[in-house]
Amino acid sequence: MKMRELEQRTGVGRETIRYYLKEGLLPEPERPKPNVAHYSDAHVRAIVAIKKLQADRFLPLAAIKRALNGDISGLPPETIAYPHFTDLLASRLGAGAGDEGLQKLSEILERHPAVAADIETLTRAGVIQPRGTGEDAMVTRLDAQILGLWADMRAAGFSRELGFEGDVFAEDIKRAQDVAKQDVRNFLSRVQGRLNEVNAAALAQRGMELSHALRGLYYVKAILAELRRRFQRDGANGTARD
């Protein structure tokens, strides 16, 4: 939907909506062209949630923003009574319910034509899960981000000629699923009975962001160490072998 429809559905003016976007209270809209923005039902839910949290619970925007970033100290202890906070958190994570937040696969491929030949392999490997077929195919916001990053890898030189097919990360997907299950079990075993639903959601979001950054750095360190080990073993001649 365009900005005008978003204003009509939420009762909030565009300047306020733009301020919410600037402050990171709303997910970024889809931008197929410069100066063109498409908004979704996730934006409607998030804006309504902000209005409710301000009007019904008298929460200032600063407290809402801090809570979304993991600092729940500014929230009153009865935050479990804030059903709209969960909607706002979900919109920040791009996790809209049902079919909300889906994007056309054809539009993504127009922006990233280099990955068009990889769609079938990526789907078969479970890296992405398109909904529908042909011109009606849609993908989630997260899958759209994955395709964008995959296009960046192609542009960086990870070509099919070098053996980098779309299923190269299939094992990573399985490992990520296994790690996610274990992380959720560990997280819930620690917070159940100690934090209410909203506080736990805020902590989970911040923890996810930080742990993702930490794991990325751990991975970089491990890759660099392994490359050094192999090149040193092979006489630093650039021919790393198993």
User: Helix, strand or coil for residue 163?
Assistant: coil
Mean pLDDT of 155-184: 83
Identify which of 148, 94, 99, 97 has the alpha carbon closest to the alpha carbon of residue 122: 148
| % pLDDT > 90, the chain | 12
pLDDT higher than 90, residue 239 = no
Regarding whether 119 and 141 lie in a shared domain, the answer is: yes
Regarding whether 185 and 147 lie in a shared domain, the answer is: no
Of 33, 60, 92, the domain-final residue: 92
Condensed to tens digits (0 to 9), the pLDDT of residues 126-160 reads: 888 888 888 788 888 778 888 988 888 899 999 98
What is the structure's pLDDT at 95?
A: 47
Q: Give CA torsion, residues 38, 41, 46, 52, to 10 deg.
A: 130
Q: What's the sign of the alpha-carbon dihedral 91, 99, 185, 218?
A: negative
- Number of structural domains in the chain: 3
Q: Is the residue at 33 inside a domain?
A: yes
Q: Is the residue at 125 inside a domain?
A: yes
Regarding whether 160 and 121 lie in a shared domain, the answer is: yes
Regarding whether 220 and 159 lie in a shared domain, the answer is: no
Of 50, 71, 92, the domain-final residue: 92
Classify residue 2 by its DSSP letter: -
Of 121, 144, 168, the domain-final residue: 168
Its domain, for residue 121, covers 102-168
Regarding whether 212 and 224 lie in a shared domain, the answer is: yes
Q: Is the residue at 97 inside a domain?
A: no
Return d(Cα 94, Cα 110) in angstroms, integer: 22
Regarding whether 190 and 127 lie in a shared domain, the answer is: no
Condensed to tens digits (0 to 9), the pLDDT of residues 98-118 reads: 444 578 899 889 989 988 999
pLDDT higher than 50, residue 31 = yes
Average pLDDT of the chain is 78
Indicate the helix (H) or strand (E) that contains 127: none
Regarding whether 107 and 88 lie in a shared domain, the answer is: no
Contact 120, 163 (CB under 8 A): no
Q: Is the residue at 204 inside a domain?
A: yes
Regarding whether 46 and 121 lie in a shared domain, the answer is: no
